[in-house]
Amino acid sequence: MNQSEMIKHRIQEGKAVLGIELGSTRIKSVLIDTDYKPIASGEHAWTNSYEQGIWTYTLDEVWNGLQESYKALKKDVNQRYGAKLSTVKAMGISGMMHGYLAFDKHEHLLVPFRTWRNNITQEASVQLMDLFNYPIPQRWSIAHLYQAILNQEEHVREVDYITTLSGYVHWKLTGNKVLGIGDASGMFPIDIHHQTFHQRMIEAFDEHISGKGFAWKLGDILPKTLVAGEDAGTLTPEGARLIDPSGELCGDIPLCPPEGDAGTGMVATNSVAERTGNVSAGTSIFAMVVLENELSRVYKELDLVTTPSGKLVAMAHSNNCTSDLDAWVNIFDEVGQLFGASIDKTTLYQALYNKALEGEADGGGLLAYGYLSGEHITKFEEGRPLFTRLSDSTFSLANFMRVHLQTSLGAMKIGTDILLKKEKVVLDKMLGHGGLFKTPGVGQRLMAAAVNAPVEVMETAGEGGAWGIAILAAYLDYAKQDKRLESFLDTQVFSQQESTRLDPVIEDVEGFEQFMRYYVNGLDIERAAVEHFHST
């Protein structure tokens, strides 16, 4: 029996494991084999809408996209192995972290889904940070809830349950209102000693809003927190139909706790142990470092979240990464088409990214901001993609591409500099994954310069969070043996994993530091663009 036939046999026996992640630009389904390697995948592209000042996705888009992604996976399974996918050993759901999904007691969505991309909760964020003495970024669910209270929004009185995107999908698939602790840590602060939402802070919040007359208490409208490996319920027949309307998918499949894309990124890069970090770079970018100790003080630029097993993590999150860069690549594609050249997109990206390495380390006096939306680290509620240069700068394609790659890391670097320079956090290595790292050696080299630490990219980096949540689903069975998640990843999943490592180049580090001086000094240019350039 050849390898393809063996995989077919295991699929038909229901031994494969399924992971589905609802990311910012695609919904991806990944099937993994008993050796934890991907054997099939399917995906569906989608994008958020900007409706009445809110970045959102509709719930119909959630389910239509999930179904299309799973349908593409089924097709891939059939084409590769001649097998029909009807059941799996376990499955898991992951989604973009943060945001606000609020439901009434009849399970009706009260207001459109407010995603992580919205920077509309500044007042709430500041007040809650003072109330809790804990960083509460604008993206967090509690900031959205409290801002709605401050805005005197009518829907708040009807709130019966709030959750994240992964928590919502998991709830509808299983009937369970639960959330993995990593995703939960982007809703409300976590007590890492008890691995639950921080009870003292919940009580402080309830006391703070006691005069509003709401019938609910905060602890009653939040999901139950679970750590990796805990029972999160099983797929109901109704849930199976939501994934696969054809009726071919069976119910009664165990699900792992639903997680956010930060947690699945940690798993996908084996960076859940202290002194390791990972960076996920795509539409947005976030760098996370697992801490040995708590930070000395609160920093507005940093989130404190957890690994899927509940360890404290400092996160530097930037809303904007490659969106503006991708737009420029599309412009170059149009130029090629104008002259009758049909260039494969992967080839185009690789050529332009590699050209960036020929540029000057500081970008040669060019400056760009890829702020398609607001950016909390640099205190922008709105953004304007912007490019400018000095009159005597070296305006070359190499410098142009290098600056756009470096600026995609700019806001994130401000956050990581706090950890590495102010808090003296030790970082042994950073693991990279996401679209920025698909061109070998380029994003990896610039990331190493940004954090002045070795950066590794694994062969599965392109699989990202969908693979990560599939791994967490596979961990359900292993966790019954009382094994730690770190041990499972080290000995079972990554023991044979190949990776490439790049150490920082001193010239790149020094050049990036000079570029960041341009970047920070030029923020008033971006601020002026936001103030004076807008739709009429």
H or E element, residue 78: helix 59-81
Return the pLDDT at 535: 81
The amino acid sitting at 392 is: D
Return the pLDDT at 460: 60
CA distance 26 to 69: 9
Are 435 and 284 a contacting pair, CB within 8 Å? no
Return the pLDDT at 434: 80
CA distance 464 to 265: 6
Return the pLDDT at 317: 87
Are 95 and 21 a contacting pair, CB within 8 Å? yes
* H-state helical runs in 199-271: 199-208, 218-221, 237-243, 261-268
Return the pLDDT at 286: 84
CATH superfamily of 266-321+412-506: ATPase, nucleotide binding domain (3.30.420.40)
* 45-69 burial: b if 16+ Cβ within 10 Å, else e: ebebeeeeebbbbeeebbeebbbbb
The amino acid sitting at 99 is: G
Q: List C-alpha distances in Å: 350 to 78, 169, 338, 346, 499.
A: 31, 36, 20, 6, 19
Return the pLDDT at 413: 97
Return the pLDDT at 390: 92
Are 408 and 321 a contacting pair, CB within 8 Å? yes
Domain with CATH 3.30.420.40 in the chain: 266-321+412-506
Q: What is the DSSP string of 290-344?
A: E-SS--SS--TT-EEEE-TT--EEEEEEES-SSHHHHHHHHHHHHHHHHTT----
List beta partners, residue 430. Answer: 277, 455
Q: What is the DSSP string of 4-47?
A: HHHHHHHHHTT--EEEEEE-SSEEEEEEE-TTS-EEEEEEEE--
Model confidence over 510-520: pLDDT tens digits?
Answer: 999 999 999 99
Return the pLDDT at 498: 81
Return the pLDDT at 356: 98
CA distance 51 to 334: 29
Return the pLDDT at 461: 54
CA distance 239 to 106: 18
Model confidence over 169-196: pLDDT tens digits?
Answer: 999 999 999 999 999 999 999 999 999 9
40 exposed, middle or buried (CB, 10 Å; 0-12, 13-18, 19+)? buried
The amino acid sitting at 26 is: R
Structure tokens of 476?
A: 């359900």
Beta strands 90-95; 54-56: pairing state: unpaired
CA distance 57 to 114: 8
Structure tokens of 478?
A: 């292993």
CA distance 306 to 263: 8
Q: Helix, strand, or coil here: 92? A: strand
CA distance 138 to 117: 9
Are 317 and 415 a contacting pair, CB within 8 Å? yes
* H-state helical runs in 278-435: 323-338, 345-356, 397-407, 410-417
- pLDDT per 10-residue tile (average), the chain, 536 residues: 89 96 95 95 95 95 98 97 96 96 98 92 95 94 98 98 98 98 97 95 98 96 97 98 97 97 89 89 89 90 93 92 95 95 92 98 97 92 94 96 98 96 93 87 96 87 81 94 88 86 97 98 97 87
Are 393 and 366 a contacting pair, CB within 8 Å? yes
Structure tokens of 243?
A: 């994934």
